[in-house]
Amino acid sequence: MSGADLSSTVKLAYRALRLVAKGASERSAIQQLATSDPNLANVKHESLDLVLTTLRNQDVLDRIVQDALPNEILAAKTLPLFRLATQLLMKAHGKDDVRRKERGLRNVTPVEYLPRLEILLGSVLGHDPYRIPSTATDAERVALETHHPALWVEYCFRLLGRSEAIKLLSTDSRPRYIRVNPLMNRGRTTLPAQAKRLAGKLTRVPSDPGVYLLNGSPSEFSAFFSQGLFQMQDFASYLAVKAGGPEPGETVLDLCAAPGAKTATLAQFMKNRGKIVSVDYSQSRMEAWKRETSRLGVKIAEPVIGDAARLAVHGTFDLIIIDPPCTGTGVFDMNPRMKWHLSPKSLERYASLQQQFMDAATPLVAEEGRILYCTCSIAVEENEQVVSTFLKSHADFEICPILGEYGSPGLKGLTDCRRLFPHRDRTAGYFISLMQRTN
Ligand SMILES: C[S@@+](CC[C@H](N)C(=O)[O-])C[C@H]1O[C@@H](n2cnc3c(N)ncnc32)[C@H](O)[C@@H]1O
């Protein structure tokens, strides 16, 4: 990478980290900044990588920054820059690379922060980032080694046992999945003729026609993405829709629908016949839903901007999909910022919201209709506990067995629900449950 490109990469990553600190997601921050400054667009992949690595390693980076600048109260403006500087230097190879990275950092640092940056640059290389304090507990040590909050490590130890928990916490990337979109491929799941030359970049998932593991970069498929021929979606998210058993001609309510991955998958299973009402409260994410559903040729979905806890939707539905916001403990690898927000309070807050969505949806389920509830969280409070509480107060619903050949049974006795784990299944960490209204 040239010196100019390095400066642009650092500049974009620094700005993106500041947006993430204000609540944006990693990808939307990069996308928004690259769109508003076209000079930065050609380094957006490198910048996203740098942002993700910096957020993944945030705990260790913060220790180094604190040691170098002990008397600083690190403000929201400076901390992202200092974390970024530390990450870059920690991964520098040789003196020339160190100098190049230092120059790149100086180029983007506001002049008032330069003296502190110099102190930091002077101390990073002498630091052992993996020094474990002698007083650390076992969970604290694993937390430092795997870059997770200690409370999450303790939680995983309790849930899975120490050795399996370490496997889960040490899995820092999973494969990416890509699927042929039959709605734009004359109803077929076979590889479109135009894309056959890229067959070597794909490995079939034998259980599901049209689903592939992607070996390499999605950018090689960009022309086909713009024609709507492919959809990128984690396999677990696809399996959640499959578990709901959507059929052509059915009416489906898709709650918490943006940015539309599940809406599009629903329309594919339904062969664009029937009706989908997709609800999400975020105007901007519903703009992304509109782009995605239009790209993928979805003809049967209607967008509704509204609160899933107070639904202003009429009629009844054969299937209601609830894909609520959650702590994201199953997708920390792709959204590392989320792991540093995890707390008992946040777990409680999400679980209560999820319960409200389930209760609000119930009156809209048709006779013998289904609720498909799923999250990309591993925490029992957001999964089995939500389902158990729901079943206690809705005796007319029962759990249906699903996806027997995938993943593992649900926990806490809910063995007909399914769980998928990154270290066992090479997917996002996911929970999937199907409940049917009975007589
Ligand atoms: C896990 S994401 C949904 C992903 C989507 N189903 C898909 O497959 O692309 C959760 C969504 O819930 C939405 N959300 C959060 N609180 C909500 C609420 N009270 N009412 C409706 N939507 C909400 C967020 O805007 C976000 O888009």
Q: What would the pLDDT profile of 197-230 be if each residue is shown by its tens digit? A: 889 999 999 999 999 999 988 888 888 999 999 9
d(CA 236, CA 151) in angstroms, rounded, equals: 26
Domain stop point among 200, 232, 264: 232
Q: Are residues 239 and 357 in the same domain?
A: yes
Q: Are residues 90 and 120 in the same domain?
A: yes
Residue 317 β-bridge partners? 365
Rounded to the nearest angstrom, the distance between the alpha carbon of 207 and the centre of ligand 1 is 29
Q: Is the pLDDT of residue 432 over 70?
A: yes
237, 265, 281: which to mutate for ligand 1, most atoms within 8 A of CB?
281
SS3 content of the chain, % helix, strand, coil (to 5): 50, 15, 35
- Whether 132 is in a domain gets the answer no
Report whether 207 contacts 258 (CB < 8 A): no
Mean pLDDT of 139-160: 96
Mean pLDDT of 233-242: 98
φ, ψ dihedrals at 408, nearest 5°:
-130, 160
Can you give the CATH number for the domain in which 188 is found?
Answer: 3.30.70
Is residue 257 lining ligand 1, measured as CB closer than 6 Å? yes
256, 320, 331: which to mutate for ligand 1, most atoms within 8 A of CB?
256
* pLDDT digits 0-9 by tens, 168-201: 999 878 899 999 999 999 999 999 998 888 899 9
- Whether 131 is in a domain gets the answer no
* pLDDT digits 0-9 by tens, 302-355: 999 999 999 999 999 999 999 999 999 999 999 999 999 999 999 999 999 999
Task: Tell me whether residue 376 is one of the annotated catalytic residues.
Answer: yes
Q: Are residues 49 and 195 in the same domain?
A: no
- Whether 155 is in a domain gets the answer yes
Sign of CA dihedral 103, 104, 107, 108: negative
From 350, 356, 355, 416, select the one nearest 378 (Cα to Cα): 350
Report whether 58 contacts 147 (CB < 8 A): yes
pLDDT of residue 423: 96
d(CA 308, CA 358) in angstroms, rounded, equals: 9
pLDDT of residue 128: 73
- Whether 327 is in a domain gets the answer yes
pLDDT of residue 3: 64
Is residue 356 lining ligand 1, measured as CB closer than 6 Å? no
- Whether 385 is in a domain gets the answer yes
pLDDT confidence band for 287 (50 / 70 / 90): very high
Is residue 262 lining ligand 1, measured as CB closer than 6 Å? yes
pLDDT of residue 132: 80
d(CA 316, CA 318) in angstroms, rounded, equals: 7
Is residue 261 lining ligand 1, measured as CB closer than 6 Å? yes
Rounded to the nearest angstrom, the distance between the alpha carbon of 281 and the centre of ligand 1 is 7
Strands across the sheet with 202-204, in order?
202-204, 211-214, 176-180, 230-232
Amino acid symbol at 439: N
Q: Which two tokens stand for residue 195?
A: 């894309």
Domain stop point among 91, 124, 157: 124
Look-up of token digits 């409070």: 381
Mean pLDDT of 29-36: 92
Where do the DSSP E strands lie in 98-223?
176-180, 202-204, 211-214
Can you give the CATH number for the domain in which 103 is found?
Answer: 1.10.940
pLDDT of residue 247: 98
Mean pLDDT of 71-90: 84
pLDDT confidence band for 74 (50 / 70 / 90): low
Amino acid symbol at 284: S
Q: Which two tokens stand for residue 383?
A: 């999964």
Q: Are residues 333 and 212 in the same domain?
A: no
- Whether 57 is in a domain gets the answer yes
From 289, 17, 336, select the one nearest 30 (Cα to Cα): 17
Q: Are residues 70 and 186 in the same domain?
A: no
Domain stop point among 124, 156, 187: 124
Q: Are residues 417 and 281 in the same domain?
A: yes
Rounded to the nearest angstrom, the distance between the alpha carbon of 338 and the centre of ligand 1 is 16
Q: Are residues 226 and 276 in the same domain?
A: no
Is residue 307 lining ligand 1, measured as CB closer than 6 Å? yes
Rounded to the nearest angstrom, the distance between the alpha carbon of 285 and the centre of ligand 1 is 8
Burial class of residue 314 in the structure, from the number of CB atoms within 10 Å of its CB (0-12 exposed, 13-18 middle, 19+ buried): exposed
Q: Are residues 299 and 426 in the same domain?
A: yes
Q: Are residues 242 and 220 in the same domain?
A: no
pLDDT confidence band for 418 (50 / 70 / 90): very high
- Whether 129 is in a domain gets the answer no
Rg of the Cα trace of the chain? 23
Q: Are residues 386 and 292 in the same domain?
A: yes
From 129, 162, 165, select the one nearest 145 (Cα to Cα): 129
Q: Are residues 303 and 221 in the same domain?
A: no
Residue 255 β-bridge partners? 279, 322
Residue with CA at minimum distance from ligand 1 atom 10: 325
Amino acid symbol at 383: N
**Strand, coil or helix: 249:** coil
Show the domain range for 192: 176-232
d(CA 17, CA 52) in angstroms, rounded, equals: 9
Sign of CA dihedral 110, 114, 117, 122: positive
Amino acid symbol at 399: I
Rounded to the nearest angstrom, the distance between the alpha carbon of 133 and the centre of ligand 1 is 40
pLDDT of residue 261: 98
DSSP state of 427: S
Look-up of token digits 């009156």: 363
Q: Are residues 37 and 115 in the same domain?
A: yes
Number of domains comprising the chain? 4
Q: Which two tokens stand for residue 310?
A: 């107070």
* pLDDT digits 0-9 by tens, 365-385: 999 999 999 999 999 999 999
- Whether 130 is in a domain gets the answer no
Which atom of ligand 1 is found nearest the CA of 237? Answer: 8
* Mean pLDDT score of the chain: 93
